[in-house]
Structure 1
Amino acid sequence: MTPVLVVFDLDGTLLDTHADLVESLNYTIAAIDVAPVSYDDLTHLVGHGAKVMIERACSLRGHPLSQEQLPALLDRFIAHYTDNMPGHTAPYPGLVEAMDQLKSAGCKLAVCTNKLEGLARSLIEKLELTHYFDAITGGDTFTVRKPDAQHLLGTIERAGGDVRNSVMIGDSINDILVARNAGVPSIAVPFGYSDAPVETLGPNRVITHFKELTPALIDELIMDFTAATPTAAAG
C-alpha cells in the first residue's frame, strides 16, 4: 500500500513568515513611494504569491500598478527576501516534533505552496528542514496553482503518493479549496493568515497546535473521508 502523504502549505502553516513578508513587501513598495503595510493587512495580501501580494498592497494603499511596473518590483522583492533569509521566520511550535512522529510512522511529507518554488526551497533549506520533504512545489512549478486541483495532484505525484491516501494541511481558503477540488481531506490551522475564521472554510478537521497532528489523527481522517466519499478522486 502507498504510504500516507501529508501535504503542507508553507506560509502561515509550516512557517511563521509574517515579519519577513511584511519587511520585504514594505521595502519593495517604498521604491514607488507607497505607504507601508502592517501585519494586520497581511491576511488580505498573502496566499497567491509575491506578485499578487505586491499588487494587492499597492491597491490597498490607493496606488494601482501597471503591468509594466510589476517585473522590477517583483525582482526587488525576491532579492530582498532572499538576501535576508531566514530572518525572523521559524517553524510553528510543535511542527518539527509532529513531522518526526509522522516520518517515524512511515508517512511521506510534501509542501504545496503558492510561493515561488525557488523562494520556498531556499527558505526551507536555510531552516534545515529540506530532508523532511519528498516534494516541494510552488506557485510556478506547474502551469496552475492552488486552488486548482492539479497543483495538489501534481505535488502528490512528485512525492510518490496516492490521492486516496493523502491529506492537505493549510491556513487559508486556497488550501481547503485545493483539497476539495482534488478529492483529498483537509486540516486547517487557525494561527496563519486567513482573513476568515478557518472553521468557516469547511475543512474536515481543525487543529490549534501541531501537537494534535499525530499519525492516528491522519489515519482516522483518511478513513472517515473515504467512508463518507467512497468514490473520492481515484485519479
Structure 2
Amino acid sequence: MADFPFGAVGFDLDGTLIESHRDLGTAVNHALALGGFAHVPIDHASDLIGGGAKIMLAKALDMQGGVAEDEFRRLYKAMLAYYGENYAVHTRPYPGALEALDELAWRGVRIGVVTNKFEEFARGILDTLGLLDRFDCVIGGDSLGKGPDGAYLAKPAPDPILRLRESCGGGRIVYVGDSSYDMRAARAAGVPVVAACYGYCDKSPDELGADATIDSFAELIPVLEALG
C-alpha cells in the first residue's frame, strides 16, 4: 500500500525471525566435546549468540580458558560441518513472524534478511522452513566477501544493510534486529532500526538504543507505521 512509510524492511535472522538457539547450542557443544570441554547448557546458548558462529564458539571456549589458534580453527570447522547438517532440527519462526511477513507483502513492502550467518546456511534454513521465497534478498556474513583487513564485511559494518537497500530497489528502509551488532550496523548505514526485545539481546533495550522496540511480532506493523 502506498501509505506505508518504508519501501523495504530488513530482518536479522537468529533471535529476530527464527528461534534457533537449540540448534546453534548443539553445534557449539559438538565442537566443545571434540576439544575436551564441558557442554554449554542449551538454555543458556542464547547468551552466546550475536556476531556469527565464530564469535559464538570463541565465547564458549573463552569461558573455559580458551584454546590455541590452530585448535580453534579445527573446532570451528567441526562446528560448521555439524551445523550444516543439523541447522533446522529445532529451529522455528517466532510466533507471529509469518503473519507479519504476509502483512508486509500485502502492503507491497519488499523484504530481506541480513545475517552474520553464512549465506548458504541462512538460505538452507529458510528453505527448509518454507520461507525462502518470501524474501527479495538474503545477505549472509560471507555474501560481500572480505575487506582490506581480511575480515568478512558483516555486521556491525554497514555494508550488508546498504546492499539490502540496493537489492530491494533503493528508497526508504528500516532494519529489525536483536543485538548490538544490528544496532551498530543500522546506525552506520543511516537506517532506522527496531530492536526485537524478545530475541537474544546482548544488551538491555535502553542500552541497545534503537529507534523503537517490539516485544512480539504482533507489534511490528503498528511500530513501523508510527516510526515512519
Q: Under a length normalisation based on structure 2, what TM-score does the superposition of the two structures give?
A: 0.89
Residue 85 of structure 1 corresponds to which residue in structure 2?
A: 87
Tell me if the contact between 2:26 and 2:42 (Cα under 8 Å) persists in the aligned partners: no
Q: What's 2:10 paired with?
A: 7
Q: What SS does structure 2 have at the residue aligned with 1:213?
A: helix
CA contact (8 A) 1:112 1:137 kept: yes
Encode CA deviations 1:89-116: one digit per residue, 9 max, x unaligned.
1000000000000000000000011111
Determine the C-alpha separation between the residues in 2 that align with 1:43 and 1:201.
Answer: 17
| Secondary structure of residue in 1 paired with 2:48 | coil
Conserved 8 A contact 2:212-2:223: no
Unaligned runs of 5+ in 1: 223-235
- Whether contact under 8 Å (1:186, 1:203) holds in the other structure is yes
2:32 alignment partner, one of 1, 11, 29: 29
Question: Alpha carbons of 1:129 and 1:61: their partners in 2 closer, same or farther (altered >3 Å)?
Answer: same
Give the whole-Å Cα distance in 2 for the aligned partners of 1:77 and 1:193: 20
Contact 1:169 1:188 in 2 (8 A): yes
Residues 1:150 and 2:132 are matched in the alignment: no
Percent identity over the alignment? 37
Residue 220 of structure 1 deviates from its aligned partner by: 3.2
Offset at residue 217 of structure 1 (A)? 3.5
Tell me the equivalent position of 2:20.
Answer: 17
Say whether 1:200 aligns with 2:207: yes
Amino acid at match of 1:199: D
- Equivalent in the alignment of 2:190: 183
8 Å CA contact 2:50, 2:202 repeated in 1: no
Distance 1:136 1:145 in 2: 13
- Equivalent pair of 1:112/1:138 in contact (CA under 8 Å): yes
- Matched with 1:112 is 114
CA contact (8 A) 2:27 2:82 kept: yes
Q: CA deviation at 1:44?
A: 4.2
1:45, CA displacement in angstroms? 2.1
Aligned length: 218
Structure 1 SS opposite 2:13: coil
Q: CA RMSD in A?
A: 1.8
Q: Note the C-alpha offset of 1:22.
A: 0.7
Q: Separation in 1 of the partners of 2:43 and 2:203?
A: 13
With the length of structure 1 as denominator, give the TM-score of the two structures. Answer: 0.86
The one-letter code of the counterpart of 1:66 is: A
- Paired residue secondary structure (1:111): strand
What's the CA shift string for 1:101-147, capped at 9, x where partnerless? 00000000000111111111111111010011111111111231111
5+ residue gaps, structure 2, are 147-152
Aligned to 2:142: 140
Q: Indicate the SS of the match to 2:14.
A: coil
Deviation at 1:3, TM superposition (A): 6.5
